[in-house]
Structure 1
């Protein structure tokens, strides 16, 4: 083995779901291997020190090498949520940093949230059905202007959603895990949510899935919504109690626009498909043309920091 090959083989190994040459600008001091969830591993997982989790692959696929990664130091997701990784953290050595993709999905997810709000309020699904049936279906629809929009989960994605709501002349109310003040106004704590729901015309869920938010939009939450309210979920399907949501939807009292569902993918024959007042998109908040430039920028920055021994961004937890 020549000196250069030996140096490369002894360099910290990084598994990437995007070929290193497509990212560009990565440190030469690291050994890059491409793996996007294929059956065969590109090398022995025991040598991996920095693992970038394949995007939009099943959790059981992306977790498959984790228990064998004895030298692992960093797990980097390309999603804002890390709930698909956290169940496997006990398999990892101590000191592994789990980092999320804050900064990658804000634009795409916020765009979709606004799209779902406008499409639902202005009756776009019915227009599409009318076009398919060659029927002209005029009606009077609610506008977003003058409405109160409650954003539940006011992190970077929630703030990006407010950015896009600002020109629409609506009032925005913000809720996060803990209360705080921002230049735009107060962020209410999650404990205040029950009192805030009744005034909301639109409720947008953009919260991470945690023990505190699992089933958050349950029967009590939904019963507090005013008649005609619209629930939009761009968070995780399990933030909403599907059974409770179906019960409310069947009355026609509220409507929903869901980019995520529980279960997911939503199977054929599930009652959510045909529940009244529901618009469903197939978990497409993140995968747009905006994804790759931002994902590559994040990986370039994180790997430069890792190679230099500098603190990483977006650290969610350490094992």
Structure 2
């Protein structure tokens, strides 16, 4: 390697990733305080996974040669929504997401949260802790109407996994209307008409200016009595105060893998609101993550080394 060999920053040791091209010098950095090398030599930055925005964004301002930012998350709000974000980077830098990495794992959790909430599993676990036999009738997913809001790759994967559960109806909503192999996708503007018919509402939408606070008091008020809200998207998609108020009446239930704020602080009223199940943002952090993430990184770097367009480009700096 010569001094002109460009650097690639990886959150995994390079020796753990098969198929990396030999045309780069690989630097392992997973958010540590000390950088592994001069950021000015980096042309391809794979951002650390499950680190704070401050950590993830910290080296960007010192990377004038950067050409690609590859996230290991499905959403890219840490880059485009945080102060600074991609601002100040040279033109032509491509921001790529991790499409193909998280769909299966996140869809699994969406179904887990839905089934656990409907069948009363949290109460049964508490009953087991107290040696209480909590029999009775509980809701099934069968014959329910499900509304998926956010019909990208994760939303489609959720619908695929709903198929065996004999739902009465699955409706799909995205930013704009379109037709898919599964059926029509409605626009966000159709939500007031669709919400009152849904027994289960699953959020899998990206966090954008258009979806921040989407689930507000008006949205929740249109949901039918006894309906279940499942959030595997981002916490700020839901107005937490409005949700807590609805939960405290007992009219709605919720199953949340993400919250706002996050992590949810001790003493927050959402922890103990009636009818809520909370998991600590683990939709993507399963055994499926590392092998899929490493395959994506190797594939992207081979394309970059060969001068081919990288995949999953969300935006390009101007």
Partner of 1:17: 11
Q: Deviations over 1:213-236 (max 9, x none)?
A: 000000000000000000000000
1:239 to 233, 237, 240: 237
Task: Give the number of aligned pairs.
Answer: 313
Partner of 1:65: 59
**In 2: Cα distance, 1:155 partner to 1:173 partner:** 14
Partner of 1:208: 206
**In 2: Cα distance, 1:68 partner to 1:206 partner:** 34
Partner of 1:308: 306
TM normalised by structure 2 equals 0.97
Residues 89-98 or 307-316, more deviating? 89-98
**In 2: Cα distance, 1:15 partner to 1:194 partner:** 45
Cα RMSD of the aligned pairs, angstroms, is 0.7
2:224 to 223, 226, 242: 226
1:281 to 279, 282, 306: 279
CA drift at 1:91: 2.7
Partner of 2:270: 272
2:73 to 75, 79, 84: 79
Q: Which runs of 4+ in 1 moved over 3 A?
A: none
**In 1: Cα distance, 2:10 partner to 2:301 partner:** 11
Unaligned segments of structure 2, at least 5 residues? none
Q: Does 1:184 align with 2:178?
A: no
**In 1: Cα distance, 2:257 partner to 2:313 partner:** 26
1:52 to 37, 40, 46: 46
SS at 2:86 equivalent: helix
**In 1: Cα distance, 2:203 partner to 2:183 partner:** 19
1:107 to 104, 112, 115: 104
SS at 2:78 equivalent: coil
Q: Does 1:165 align with 2:162?
A: yes
CA drift at 1:12: 2.1
**In 1: Cα distance, 2:86 partner to 2:56 partner:** 13
**In 2: Cα distance, 1:11 partner to 1:98 partner:** 22
**In 1: Cα distance, 2:240 partner to 2:70 partner:** 30
Residues 184-193 or 272-281, more deviating? 184-193
TM normalised by structure 1 equals 0.97
Unaligned segments of structure 1, at least 5 residues? none
SS at 1:293 equivalent: helix
